[in-house]
Each structure stands twice: as C-alpha cells, then as structure tokens.
Amino acid sequence: MIIAIASGKGGTGKTTIATNLAMCLQKPVRLLDCDVEEPNCHIFLNPDLDGGERATLPVPVIDEGLCNNCGECGRICQFNAIVSLKTKPLVFPALCHGCGGCMRVCPTGAISEEGREIGTVETGTSGHIEFVQGRLDVGQAQSPPLIRAVKRHIAEEGVTIIDCPPGTSCPVIAALKGCDYAVLVTESTPFGLHDLKLAVATVRLLHLDFGVVINRATPHDVMVREYCKKERIPVLLEIPDDRRVAEAYSRGKLIVEAVPELRESFERLCCAIISRIQHRDAAPIPCAGTTPGVS
Amino acid sequence: MKIVISSQGNTLDSMVDPRFGRAAQFILYDTETEKFEVLSNQQSLNATQGAGIKAAETLSGRGAEALITGHCGPNAFQTLSAAGIAIYIGADGLTVAQAIDKFKAGELRTAQAPDVKGHWQ
C-alpha cells in the first residue's frame, strides 16, 4: 500500500503530514523522502542513517572505432544531449536523461553506457519507522532518476509513505507514479488554492485516487472547503492554525507528540486513507494509459 | 564565405539578438554574393534544453563558417568549435548590417572560450 503526500504549493505541510502519519501507522511502515532536492523528514524523525548508496544515471559512451558518423544518435535524442555533425558524436552528460535511445538506434553498436553519479540513497530506522531518503548532489539538475532509485525501496508489505517534492512537474510525476493514493496538502490561502487546483489536475491525469488535508485551517477561511465540496473531493483532515503546532514544527518535533489531541486526528486520517484504498481495491479503477511529463 | 548572425528580426536592419541558442532567428549571409536568407531557429526555441547545441547543429547543416552573436555558452561553444564554425561575440547593440560591416573590416573579436555560463553547470 503506497500513500503519496503531495501539494502543488511548497511549504503547505507535506513533511508534517508524512512524518506524523508514519508515526501513527502500525508496523510495518516505511517512509520514503522523495523530496530529494531538500529532504527534511529526517529533521523530525532523527533516523540513524547509513552511509548510503550512490545512485547513477546511465549516459552514453562512444566507441569511436565503431562509429560511422551516421548521426542516428543525435536524431533520436529529444534532449540535445548527443549531437553528430558528420563527425564523431559529442555527448553532453549533464543534459542526458538516460533513456538509452541512442544506444538502441546505433547501427554499429558504437554506444555503450556508463553511470553518472547524481546523488545518494540513504536508509535507516526511526523507532518503528523504516526510513529511506534521496539526497541529490549539489549542481545536479535532474531529480527523477534519483526519485526512482529511492522508490525501489518501496516495501512489499505494510504501508509505504512517499513524501513528494512540491510542484507538478517531472519530479512530482516520478514520485506519484504507481502510488495507491495521494494526499494533497494545502493551506487556505489564494496561493494554496491556486496550486491545489494544479495538483488536483495532475493526480486526475494520473488516475490516482486522492483527498485533501487543509493545514493552518481557520473557521473563516472557507475557499478551499468550498472548492473541495464543489469538486466532490474528500477533505480528510483539517489541522487548526494553532501556535503549539508551529512551535513543535520549529523545534523539529512531531505534532502528534506535542499536541496530543491531534494524535487522534492523525489516527483517523490513517484509517480513512487505508479504508479508501481497500474499498478501491474491491472495485479497481482503470489504469493510466498515458502520463504527463517526461523525465 | 557564409556567415550567420543571430537576429531579433528578419532584415539586415534588425538588431543582433544577444542570445545564440534561443535567438529569435538567424540571418545567413554570403559575403561573396552579398545576399542573405533567414533561418528559422524554431527547433531550438522549442527545445526544453540544449538550445545552443541544437542551434549549432542547424548552422553546421547550412554550411556556416562563422557566427556573429552577443554571447556564447559552453555547450554551444563546444558544438560550434567541433563544427569548425568561428565564433564572434560582443555584437549585441548593433544591427545585423553593422555587424556584417564590422566583420568585413576585421573589427569583431573571436571568442577563445565561452563568455557566459551554461544553464546546467
């Protein structure tokens, strides 16, 4: 069972939901921090991390003795990462997305692949939570391959929670693909609502079942509630705009520990999501045929 | 000799486009016949990345021997160099016609290295 925590807008509380949800779920539970450009779940969970494994992206290497300068490799590359000017091809590894197309179309077998290091996948434990995070190397522009490397640690049993990066572009698609359910975290502000609509459009394109959590909710901010009602989107939880929550967050503490009455809310959230996924499994929805974004 | 100028418009009175990879278009000028034609740069403008590489490939395919532009980044520089195209930078602020005159008078400087950073490095 794979539950993704996504948002659209950054800073709405994805990590807060992911970490507190993991804390309230029963063993076995695994949390994957796929926000690999700035993973921060570890701040709240203090896992004992191992040294990590380096993640690589396959990039082409040309055997100039075999190359006949035909240019097929450059013609298939959609990322301008390899170009042949009637000469031996030039390769720009930083632009390569590792699709392997050039190697496949090369008629002389002149192209092989080597791994270009892009980041680290670290694993550890925090109490009953099995923890995995990706850490993209500084200066790397492409996070989806590292996100996919982190996702190879999805647990076969129990619940895996995926803390997604913000936004709706390739890294988010890479994190969301294959999940059973998406929790979209928002805040009741015009920016929050604007980006929530983008996130809703994204998960609908991916044919993912989803619900919304409203963070920093106040009684008078009704626009997100009204939007969800109109769109028939379940509001799974509202976290009140409570100073104790902000203080716990700023000290790197979990709110289910700092604000005891919220523990019950999170336990209800766990039950709501799990029963929704189990209900869905009884009557499966069609799989996504095509998915947006390339990475 | 065929030279290419990155251009904001499609006449010799147009301003030189300071960008190479994402130039609005290119003017391909023949110094012997003094005729020119406009080359589309649409493929590079549409590229999500590697616009300079793609543009250099386009120019190479059209037999350009020299390029006049404003600035040139590392990937474009490497590709243009591999294609044997001489690179003249610093022509921003000139019209295409003025840039051609300065080129003919030998007043433009060749770039020995990229003068701006890449977007991905």
Q: Are strands B86-89 and B109-110 parallel, antiparallel or unpaired?
A: antiparallel
Question: Are B57 and A83 inside 8 Å of each other by CB?
Answer: yes
CB A30 within 8 A of CB A161: yes
Burial class (CB within 10 angstroms; exposed 0-12, middle 13-18, buried 19+) of A27? exposed
pLDDT at B121 over 60: no
Q: Determine contact: A94 vs chain B, CB below 8 A.
A: yes
Q: What is the predicted pLDDT for the residue at A286?
A: 41
Give the gap in angstroms from C-alpha B83 to the nearest C-alpha of chain A. 6
Q: Which residues of chain A have pLDDT under 70?
A: 281-295
Whether B115 is in a domain gets the answer: no
For residue B102, CA distances in Å to A258, B8, B26 come to 72, 18, 17
Beta bridge partners, A186, equal A214
The mean pLDDT value for B28-50 works out to 94
Whether B120 is in a domain gets the answer: no
Q: Where are the domains of chain A?
A: 2-54+118-282, 64-109
Report which residue type is found at A154: I
Whether B117 is in a domain gets the answer: no
Q: What is the predicted pLDDT for the residue at A283?
A: 52
Beta bridge partners, B3, equal B29, B66
Percentage of residues of chain A with pLDDT beyond 70 = 95
Q: Determine contact: A76 vs chain B, CB below 8 A.
A: no
Query: In the structure encoding, which two tokens stand for residue B27, read together?
Result: 């003017």
Question: Are B57 and A141 inside 8 Å of each other by CB?
Answer: no
Q: Which residues of B touch A139 (CB under 8 A)?
A: 121
Q: Are strands B25-30 and B36-40 parallel, antiparallel or unpaired?
A: antiparallel
Give the gap in angstroms from C-alpha A34 to the nearest C-alpha of chain B. 22
Residue found under tokens 């680290």:
A120
Report which residue type is found at A93: P
Q: Are strands B2-7 and B66-68 parallel, antiparallel or unpaired?
A: parallel
pLDDT at B120 over 60: no
Q: Determine contact: B74 vs chain A, CB below 8 A.
A: no
Residues 6+ apart with CB under 8 A from B53: A80, A83, A90, A92, A95, B21, B75, B76, B79
For residue A158, CA distances in Å to A47, A104, A155, A219 come to 19, 38, 7, 36
For residue B107, CA distances in Å to B17, B35, B101, B113 come to 18, 21, 9, 18
Residue found under tokens 């300065």:
B102
B116: helix, coil or strand? coil
Q: Note the pTM of the prediction, 2 decimals.
A: 0.81
CB A10 within 8 A of CB A166: yes
Question: Are B83 and A85 inside 8 Å of each other by CB?
Answer: yes
d(CA B57, CA B67): 12
| Architecture category of domain A2-54+118-282 in CATH | 3-Layer(aba) Sandwich (3.40)
d(CA A24, CA A266): 7
pLDDT tens column, A200-253: 999 999 999 999 999 999 988 899 999 999 999 999 999 999 999 999 999 999
Give the gap in angstroms from C-alpha B13 to the nearest C-alpha of chain A. 31
Q: Which of A 212-251 lie inside 8 A of B, CB atoms? A: none
Q: What is the predicted pLDDT for the residue at A282?
A: 60
Q: What is the predicted pLDDT for the residue at B64?
A: 95
Question: Are B50 and A81 inside 8 Å of each other by CB?
Answer: yes
Whether B13 is in a domain gets the answer: yes
Q: Determine contact: A138 vs chain B, CB below 8 A.
A: no
pLDDT tens column, A285-294: 443 333 334 4
Whether B21 is in a domain gets the answer: yes
Q: Determine contact: A95 vs chain B, CB below 8 A.
A: yes
Comparing A283 with B34, the larger pLDDT belongs to B34
DSSP element (H, E) containing A15: helix A14-24
* CA B30 to mean position of chain CA atoms: 14
Question: Are B53 and A92 inside 8 Å of each other by CB?
Answer: yes
Give the gap in angstroms from C-alpha B60 to the nearest C-alpha of chain A. 7
Preferred mutation among A80, A87, A118 to probe B, highest tally of B CBs within 10 A? A80
Q: Which residues of A touch B53 (CB under 8 A)?
A: 80, 83, 90, 92, 95
Question: Are B50 and A95 inside 8 Å of each other by CB?
Answer: yes
Q: Which residues span the domain enclosing B26?
A: 2-110
Q: What's the CATH code of the domain at B14?
A: 3.30.420.130
Q: What is the predicted pLDDT for the residue at A101?
A: 95
Q: What is the predicted pLDDT for the residue at A281?
A: 63
Given 3.30.70.20, 3.40.50.880, 3.30.1390.10, 2.160.10.10, which CATH number is that of A64-109?
3.30.70.20
Number of domains observed in the structure of chain B: 1
Q: Determine contact: A90 vs chain B, CB below 8 A.
A: yes
Q: Which residues of B touch A90 (CB under 8 A)?
A: 53, 78-79, 82
Residues 6+ apart with CB under 8 A from A273: A3, A181, A183, A211, A236
